[in-house]
Amino acid sequence: MNINLLTDATKHNLALMKISAFHKEHDDNVYLKGVGSFDLTYGSWLFDFSPKGVCDIEGGPGIDVQSKLPIPIMDVKPDYDLYGLDFSLGFTWSWCPRKCSFCIVPKQDNPITHKSIWDFHDSRFKKICLLNNNTFSDPEWKETFEEIWDAGLTVIDENGYDLRLMDEEKAAALKKTRFQGYRHYAWDHMRDETKILNGLRLAPRGIVYVLIGYNTTREEDFHRIQKIHDLKHDPYIMPYNRTKSEMAFKRFVDSRMYRKFKTIKEAWKNYNGSK
In a domain, 5, yes or no: yes
Q: Which helix (H) or strand (E) covers residue 237, if one does?
A: strand 234-239
Q: What is the pLDDT of residue 66?
A: 84
Last residue of a domain, one of 45, 73, 101: 73
| Residues recorded for the chain | 275
Average per-residue pLDDT for the chain:
94
In this prediction the pTM is 0.90
CA-to-CA dists, residue 102 to 99, 160, 190, 272, angstroms: 9, 16, 15, 31
Least Cα distance to 208 among 231, 179, 191 occurs for 231
- For residue 167, what is the DSSP state? -
Sequence-distant contacts of 223-232: CB under 8 A, at least 24 apart: 223/190, 224/187, 224/190, 225/253, 225/258, 225/264, 226/263, 226/264, 226/265, 227/193, 227/197, 227/200, 228/187, 228/200, 229/258, 229/259, 229/264, 231/197, 231/200, 231/201, 232/205
Looking at residue 105, what is its pLDDT? 87
pLDDT at 80: 98
Task: Flag whether pLDDT at 272 surpasses 80.
Answer: no
- Residue 57, phi then psi, degrees to nearest 5: -135, 130
Residues 6+ apart with CB under 8 A from 262: none
- Asked if the structure places residue 235 within a domain, the reply is yes
| Residue 243 located in a structural domain | yes
> Across residues 135-144, what is the average pLDDT?
98
- Per-residue model confidence as pLDDT tens digits over 179-229: 999 999 999 999 999 999 999 999 999 999 999 999 999 999 999 999 999
Q: How far apart are CA 163 and CA 200, in angstroms?
A: 7
Contact present, 3 and 30 (Cβ < 8 Å):
yes
Q: Which of 12-26, 233-247, 259-273 has the lowest mean pLDDT?
A: 259-273
Question: Do the beta carbons of residue 33 and residue 6 sit within 8 Å?
Answer: yes
Query: How far is it, in rounded angstroms, from Cα 34 to Cα 81?
Result: 16
Point out the least confidently predicted range of 63-77, 120-134, 135-149: 63-77
User: pLDDT band at residue 40, thresholds of 50, 70 and 90?
Assistant: very high
φ, ψ at 198 (rounded to 5°): -60, -40
Domain that holds residue 27: 1-73
Domain limit, last residue, from 39, 73, 107: 73
Coil vs helix vs strand at 103: coil
Residue 268 inside a domain? The answer is yes
Is 212 in contact with 239 (CB distance < 8 Å)?
yes
Q: What percent of the chain has pLDDT over 90?
A: 84
pLDDT at 8 over 90: yes
pLDDT band at 273 (very low <50, low <70, confident <90, very high): low
**Domain count within the chain:** 2
Quick one: average pLDDT of 142-160?
95
What are 112-128's pLDDT values in tens digits? Answer: 999 999 999 999 999 99
**What pLDDT, on the 0 to 100 scale, is given for residue 214?**
95
Q: Is residue 28 part of a domain?
A: yes
In a domain? residue 256: yes
Q: What is the pLDDT of residue 209?
A: 97
Q: Choose the final residue of a domain: 38, 73, 108.
A: 73
Q: Do 53 and 6 touch, CB atoms closer than 8 A?
A: yes
Across 239-248, average pLDDT: 96
- Please check whether residue 92 is in contact with residue 117, taking contact to mean a CB–CB distance below 8 angstroms: yes
Q: Span 136-153, mean pLDDT?
A: 98
| Angle of CA points 22, 27, 32, to nearest 5° | 60
Least confidently predicted of 29-33, 66-70, 184-188, 198-202:
66-70
pLDDT of residue 21: 97
Query: Are the beta carbons of 267 and 258 closer than 8 angstroms?
Result: yes
Does residue 88 sit within a domain? no
- Answer whether residue 161 is part of any domain: no
pLDDT digits (tens, 9 = 90+) for 168-188: 999 999 999 999 999 999 999
Identify the CA nearest to 200 among candidates 186, 188, 190, 212: 186
